A = this chain, B = another copy of it.
Amino acid sequence: MKVLIVEDDRILSDTIKQCIEKKYNVEQAYDGYEGYMFAKENIYDVIILDLMMPEMNGYEVLSKLRSNQILTPVLILTAKDSLSDKVKGLNSGADDYLVKPFEREELLARLEAIIRRNNGFFLNNTLEFKGLKMNLQNRTVTIDGKEINLQGKQFDLLEYLIHSKDTIITKEQIFDKIWGFDSDTSTNVVEVYASSLRKELKKYGYDKYIKTLRRVGYILSDS
């Protein structure tokens, strides 16, 4: 297991290294630019990324990685614990968030969680539900091999549903996840997209798996 620490404070970087070097093979980068260059090689299992750095900040590194199709899980590290930073980080594709200062145990726990969660999800990069396959890389969907076309937010919604299949998700959760909690769009869009997604899936008889739980939310389940 290889971990890359991208942190400009060398003392903190070394501290983190000491925390985790028993269990992981650690490499260090000391600014955003260097971090990006290392991470681009795509050989790490997790990247621990500080937000505040000279040259290129954490957000920039992260969004640059994601737009270059490098999907290595990222644990964001920051001194700020304001909600907006959290959202910003998660929106740019981070997997988890840790606020400085933090406990050794918590760091280790989060790392393990990320690795566990991403095993088989991020790495193979596809989601499946009863013969319906979503390729997250190229955002295509097939049902029994036949390609179906879902536009941006339709795709996002289906992804979220499959990702949390058999558990109830509220409209607010969907909204926060796809539109961002600070979006000023009306939550009616969730219904609009639920509707259009069902309409599309109906052609293949898959609309029936998306159930509405009145006053609660939605659930995707195969019963």
Contact = CB atoms under 8 A, between A and B. Distances in A.
Interface of A: 29-30, 34, 36, 41, 43, 64, 67-69, 137-139, 151-152, 168, 170-173, 176, 181, 213-216, 219
A152 to B, nearest CB: 6
B69 A137 contact: no
Of A36, A43, A151, A219, the most chain B CB neighbours within 10 A belong to: A43
Given A64-B181, A172-B64, A138 B34 contact: no
A181 B37 CA distance: 10
A151 B216 CA distance: 11
B69 A173 contact: yes
Nearest to A27: B30
A34 B41 contact: yes
Contacts of A172: 64, 67-68
A68 B169 CA distance: 8
